[in-house]
Amino acid sequence: MASNPPAAPGMAALRVDDLHVAFQQGARSTRVLDGLSFELRPGEIGCLLGASGCGKTTALRAIAGFVRPDRGAVRIGERCVASPGDWIEPEHRGVGVVFQDYALFPHLDVADNVAFGLRATPAAERPARVASMLGLVGLPDVARRFPHELSGGQQQRVALARALAPSPSILLLDEPFSNLDPDLRERLALDLRDILKRHRTTALLVTHDQYEAFALADRVGVMHAGRIEQWDTPYRLYHQPATRLVADFVGLGTFLPGRLEHRDGNTLVHLELGSLPIRTRTDQAIAGVTANDRGEVVVLLRPDDVVHDDGSPMRAEVVRKAFRGAQFLYTLRLDSGQPLLALVPSHHDHAVGERIGVRFDADHVVTFPPDAGAARAAD
């Protein structure tokens, strides 16, 4: 698992250490979190990303105080809010939560919804704080409307304003865009990132959608079976995945068989598309060749690693094509039968069944041992 370097004392806004949670169902115990660990610095936006059932929502609820961990600790700033010997109730943790369904009060107008969390603020100061929060989320003129009079995107912004109004130490967001149209999600994710950065809010998002995660977060943890496989920047998750599971889950890609060779102090990987140098250790390549006398590996190829080149002697058959406006996503088949994905400018409009020239061009050659896990079929 890749992770941030350990923080100096007092540096982390949120720190989760070795968190374990199991749910009892009759005589059966189901482990949901199994040694979850990560941290966020002040002002960072983090994300727990994974498929349904991986434990990400349970992690969020444990941080908020809605689930009591069996083992491990949660620290918010200097305070330990959950451990075997410590427990602080949710309302005293200084945590704001934006729920999946926004949880706005239908009988209260927008201003009263935002003011709901300001009961500890003097009454005379609340209207100014409400107006400031509505201005921050870009809704200065909806204070007297009711939730049913707003669009889904506007309701999400109101929920955000309400959560931010008390100035929480940490903001937690539970699949905040799941009820919105796909076309609206990415734009609102970018808007939300701008709002959180302007407000200098430390935030943690949980989602199954990698595009939301990449649009919003500074650090993303890919979760599987209650643990984080890799905690890293979106760029490194995509281009330098630490495990085959991460490589398979994040982004599109295909895996081709290859063979590593050490020659004159350099490492090469030979595959059907040619021989490529491994300039930096970004993966498990060296471990793979050490464990396997033949140097057999699998090589991850992203669609943007494969270049359409009419002059290349390597040919591949177009099996499927998906028009994406500026680009086609081609599913190709090499002579060996191996699949390949390629992003090609859309003025190169080739027919299914046509053979086109391709070559490999990437800064990061990512390989894994052949027994590191099964790859997902190309989409």
pLDDT digits (tens, 9 = 90+) for 224-233: 999 999 999 9
- Minimum mean pLDDT range among 171-175, 182-186, 255-259, 345-349: 182-186
SS3 85: coil
Are residues 214 and 359 both part of a single domain?
no
Look up the pTM and report it.
0.88
Q: What CA–CA distances, in Å, run from 129 to 79, 140, 141, 195, 260?
A: 27, 12, 15, 16, 61
Domain span including residue 228: 14-94+168-245
Is 260 inside any structural domain?
Answer: yes
DSSP string, 332-349: EE-TTS-EEEEEEETT--
Domain count, the chain: 2
Same domain? For 231 and 278 the reply is no
Both 212 and 323 in a single domain? no
Q: What residues does 307 pair with on adjacent strands?
A: 359
Task: For residues 61 and 284, give the distance between their C-alpha atoms in angstroms, rounded to a whole number.
Answer: 34
**Which CATH number does the domain housing residue 182 bear?**
3.40.50.300
| Element of type H or E holding 212 | helix 210-216
The residue out of 245, 261, 282 marking a domain boundary is 245
In angstroms, the CA 163 to CA 267 distance is 52
Distance CA 174, CA 62 (A): 12
84: left (phi over 0), alpha (psi -120 to 50) or beta: alpha
User: 219 with 260, same domain?
Assistant: no
pLDDT in tens, 208-259: 999 899 999 999 999 999 999 999 999 999 988 988 999 999 999 999 999 8
Check: CB of residue 102 under 8 Å from CB of residue 158: yes
